[in-house]
A and B are shown apart, each in its own frame.
Chain A
């Protein structure tokens, strides 16, 4: 069990550029989640997948944001035409669907800075 990994750990970009983040969940975890954490706040839910299906999206996920999990393993989160307000820590978590409430395990996050 190598844990949830995210790449890159840090990203600095200029306003208007597109960025893409990758998340590799714990192997065989069929659920994958994206959260966003701004300074001084708790993480906020963005979206989640069960296998390759995207089952829920937050209203925080504007049209500029898109997430995919094409083969039910790793996931990507793309932000188009970045804005300064997109600067945040983007967290990925994964869990294994069981008969009861499952536990989400978090990766180290990708810190995005938009200049």
Chain B
């Protein structure tokens, strides 16, 4: 079984300040982890993915995430928020043992304050 918990349903930050979106996962097997972003009226876009290589993963638009097995966490960060980062962010887990489906968290809505 696999599951994802996004600890904040809504995060607000000022433009130019750091972003932290928190995610904890549960998986019976070694997982792959992803962050997707969904802008209003747009499709889901892959930000970054972890697939058992380097634990610090860099993605698009300056985002990165660190896989911490001991804490079962995969938090998403960005040093400086931009207005265009306002969107819904989903943390996603997939077991790497014969199970191709993605399990999504409930999402975190990121608001950027000018």
- Is B77 on the interface with A (CB-CB < 8 A)? no
Q: Is B51 an interface residue (CB 8 A)?
A: yes
Q: Is the interface of B mostly helix, strand, loop or mixed?
A: strand
One of B45, B90, B101 near A42 (C-beta < 8 A) = B90
Q: Report Cα–Cα, A48/B100, bound state, in Å.
A: 8
A42-B51 contact in complex given A31-B100, A33-B101, A56-B100, C-beta closer than 8 Å? no
Q: Could you say which of A33, A43, A103 has the most chain B C-beta atoms within 10 Å of its C-beta?
A: A43
Q: Is A25 interfacial (CB 8 A cutoff)?
A: no
Within 8 A of A (CB), among B64-114: 90, 92, 94, 96, 100-107
Chain B contacts with A in 12-63, Cβ cutoff 8 A: 32, 34, 36, 42-46, 49, 51
Taking A105-B46, A108-B42 as contacts, is the C-beta distance between A45 and B102 under 8 angstroms?
Answer: yes
Q: How large is the interface on A (under 10, 10 to 19, 20 to 34, 35 or more residues)?
A: 20 to 34
Q: Considering the complex, give the chain B residue whose CB is closest to the CB of A56.
A: B101
Would you call A44 and B46 a contact (CB within 8 A)?
A: no
List chain A residues, Cβ under 8 A from B94.
101
Q: Can you spell out 8 A-B residue pairs with CB atoms less than 8 angstroms apart? A: A33-B100, A40-B106, A42-B92, A42-B107, A48-B101, A101-B32, A103-B49, A104-B102
Task: Give 4 nearest A-B pairs by CB, closest first.
Answer: A42-B104, A45-B101, A106-B44, A108-B43
